[in-house]
Amino acid sequence: MTIHREGYKSIALATLLLGAVNIILFWFLGTTMLWLCAAILFISVVLVLFIVSFFRIPARKLTISGNSIIAPADGKVVVIEETTDEEYFKDKRLQVSIFMSPANVHVNRNPITGEVIYNKYHKGKYLVAWHPKSSTENERHSVVIKNEKTEILVKQIAGALAKRIVNYLEVGQKVNQTEEMGFIKFGSRVDLLLPVGTKINVLMNEKVKGGVTVIATV
């Protein structure tokens, strides 16, 4: 397991802040309220370990398949339905949404190999990520990747806790399946908008792994 580069600053700040708090507490209360100092130290260590875990990149064998759309994120499938895309395609699409809890790995990966033909950031609200309107009203970043077999929109969506969406792609860029496309900090959601008729290989509430699970077949 390695730590994602997006986590270096957050981990360092959390460690310094909690370290300073504990030093001050032990300095002033260490002789009179040692139990309280010990309890806060324990909680501080747990918090730092949680933050480190949030930015982890576990070692795993990634799935490469030209006929498959691979999960862009870890999490649970919360939506499989037909919808109308008002942002880019302006027609009916098949939506598959993956909810990422704070405990999930938050690296986002390219679901297919192809060319980035659309990339746009949208300001918005911070509704809980499983809210039906989060796809269109929350802060989000949309990317369309196209190849000779399919054209899909990947939407990174902020949740109630996620306050920063990172996207590494640019229009005209050639990308490879399962390579990093971005990162969302602290709880969020990723939507896939696929052509109607695409064969879906996952079920509602199924847990999926980014870069590993086959979401659909083209």
Catalytic residue among 97, 134, 135, 188: 188
What domain range is 205 assigned to?
Answer: 68-217
Instruction: Give a yes or no: residue 139 inside a domain.
Output: yes
Is the separation of the CB atoms in 80 and 123 below 8 Å?
no
Instruction: Give a yes or no: residue 63 inside a domain.
Output: no
Model pTM above 0.85: yes
Read off the tokens for 155. Answer: 């939407």
Same domain (yes/no): 36, 75? no
Q: What does each of the 218 residues of the chain score in pLDDT, given as a tens digit?
A: 799 888 899 899 999 999 999 999 999 998 889 999 999 999 999 999 988 988 999 999 999 999 999 999 999 999 999 999 999 999 999 999 999 988 899 899 999 999 999 999 988 765 655 555 556 667 889 999 999 999 999 999 987 665 678 999 999 999 999 999 999 876 688 999 999 999 999 999 999 999 999 999 99
Read off the tokens for 53. Answer: 């875990």
Q: Rounded to whole angstroms, how far apart are CA atoms 150 and 129?
A: 27
- 8-state DSSP, 186: S
Instruction: Give a yes or no: residue 51 inside a domain.
Output: yes
Instruction: Give a yes or no: residue 36 inside a domain.
Output: yes
Instruction: Give a yes or no: residue 134 inside a domain.
Output: yes
Same domain (yes/no): 15, 78? no
Same domain (yes/no): 31, 77? no
Same domain (yes/no): 53, 81? no
Map residue 97 onto helix, strand or coil.
Answer: strand
Same domain (yes/no): 138, 178? yes
Cross-strand bridge partners of residue 109? 180
Same domain (yes/no): 126, 201? yes
Q: In total, how many domains does the chain have?
A: 2
Same domain (yes/no): 78, 172? yes
Same domain (yes/no): 74, 121? yes
Same domain (yes/no): 127, 51? no
Read off the tokens for 172. Answer: 């005209």
53 in active site? no
Q: Rounded to whole angstroms, how far apart are CA atoms 7 and 49?
A: 12
Same domain (yes/no): 83, 152? yes
Please state at what angle helix 34-54 crosses helix 8-29, rounded to 10 degrees: 180
